[in-house]
Amino acid sequence: MTPAISVRGLSKSYGHLHAVRDLDLDVGYGEIFAILGPNGAGKSTTIEILEGHRRRDAGQVRVLGEDPGTAGRSWRAKIGIVLQETSDFGMLTVLETARMFAKCYGQARGPEELLELVGLATSSGSRVRTLSGGQRRRLDVALGIIARPELLFLDEPTTGFDPEARRQFWDLIRVLADDGTTILLTTHYLEEAAALADRVAVIAAGRLAAVDSPARLTAYVNTAATVRWMEGDQLHVEQTDRPTELIRQRSANGAELAALTVTRPTLEDAYLRLVGLA
């Protein structure tokens, strides 16, 4: 099956600065795909090219079977975009905003159904400017999915959320993915990529450093576990592939190992290694 997004040899420079270099990517239909990378890595440039909002210098790009540089309105209608900054409809209520947008599209979801889906039904009468950051982002997503896009772009969707709002937002993204929407997101939160994404691309200095599932990326680094415990005032730290055996040996005399922890490398460890920060 042809992928929803296919990128081969994508390059883009700003003057002498190579923002994206020879990038290859495939995103399958129905995937939640995350792009990670430090500031300036080329994530926004890549996404904007995929959205058809920026020209490329070289490479082949297919998004839902078309070249975003030349695709027309019918293609655009199949794409939902949630940008980093939210649009300002402060004086309108949530429901009025949803209705206003629904009028612009032939195949729009009903405004009430839409607000139910994103968890804003109880705030439908609230003015947009009174919403919390998390509610505001839900409204952004609501507007992004109003025309039932096949592919949704989310640029740093949960920046500034508290942990509860972030988890609720993840549930919403999973509902959309279960419904068949392909989702491409950028995020600064490694935990978010690990929790949500089927696959993650790590971009560093405009190049693809790695692409794989979060679990397999994590396993790239080092599968050894770190075992820590205290003896008196002294912290013991050992790395081992067989933590159970190590703990059995150390506690053979029946001693309780104080403050015992066993940790495995996380996606964050893998990420820092891949982008050259660890």
Q: Which two tokens stand for residue 111?
A: 């405004």
Considering the complex, state which of residue 40 and residue 160 has its C-beta at the smaller distance from ligand ADP: 40
Q: Report the nearest approach of ligand ADP to the CB of residue 122 (Å).
A: 35
Considering the complex, state which of residue 207 and residue 264 has its C-beta at the smaller distance from ligand ADP: 207
Considering the complex, state which of residue 14 and residue 103 has its C-beta at the smaller distance from ligand ADP: 14
Query: What interhelical angle do 214-221 and 267-274 show, nearest 10?
Result: 70
How many residues does the structure list for the chain? 278
- φ, ψ at 218 (rounded to 5°): -60, -40
19 touches ligand ADP (CB under 6 A): yes
Q: Which stretch binds ligand ADP (CB under 6 A): 12-20, 209-217, 239-247, 262-270?
A: 12-20
Instruction: Tell which one of 14, 233, 249, 252 touches ligand ADP (CB under 6 A).
Output: 14
- Reported in sequence order, the residue ranges of the chain that DSSP labels E, i.e. its strands, are 5-14, 17-27, 32-36, 58-63, 79-82, 151-155, 182-186, 199-204, 207-212, 225-231, 234-240, 258-263
276 touches ligand ADP (CB under 6 A): no
Query: What interhelical angle do 133-144 and 94-103 show, nearest 10?
Result: 20
- φ, ψ at 149 (rounded to 5°): -65, 150
Considering the complex, state which of residue 45 and residue 123 has its C-beta at the smaller distance from ligand ADP: 45
Considering the complex, state which of residue 14 and residue 215 has its C-beta at the smaller distance from ligand ADP: 14
Give the chain's end-to-end CA distance (angstroms, integer).
38
Q: Report the nearest approach of ligand ADP to the CB of residue 14 (Å).
A: 3
Q: Which stretch binds ligand ADP (CB under 6 A): 14-22, 68-76, 247-255, 269-277?
A: 14-22
17 touches ligand ADP (CB under 6 A): yes
Q: Would you give the DSSP letter of residue 93?
A: B
Considering the complex, state which of residue 36 and residue 172 has its C-beta at the smaller distance from ligand ADP: 36
253 touches ligand ADP (CB under 6 A): no
Binding-site residue total for ligand ADP (CB under 6 A)?
11
Q: Are 14 and 178 in contact (CB under 8 A)?
A: no
Considering the complex, state which of residue 84 and residue 263 has its C-beta at the smaller distance from ligand ADP: 84
7 touches ligand ADP (CB under 6 A): no
Q: Are 187 and 173 in contact (CB under 8 A)?
A: no
Q: Report the nearest approach of ligand ADP to the CB of residue 37 (Å).
A: 5
Q: Are 69 and 61 in contact (CB under 8 A)?
A: yes
- What string marks each residue from 26 to 65 as x (binds ligand ADP by CB under 6 A) or -? -----------x-xxxxxxx--------------------
Q: Are 137 and 157 in contact (CB under 8 A)?
A: yes
| Residues in Cβ contact with 78 at an 8 Å cutoff, skipping those fewer than 6 apart | 64, 149, 150, 151
Q: Which two tokens stand for residue 237?
A: 């730290």
Considering the complex, state which of residue 36 and residue 120 has its C-beta at the smaller distance from ligand ADP: 36
Which residue ranges make up the site for ligand ADP (CB under 6 A)?
14, 17, 19, 37, 39-45
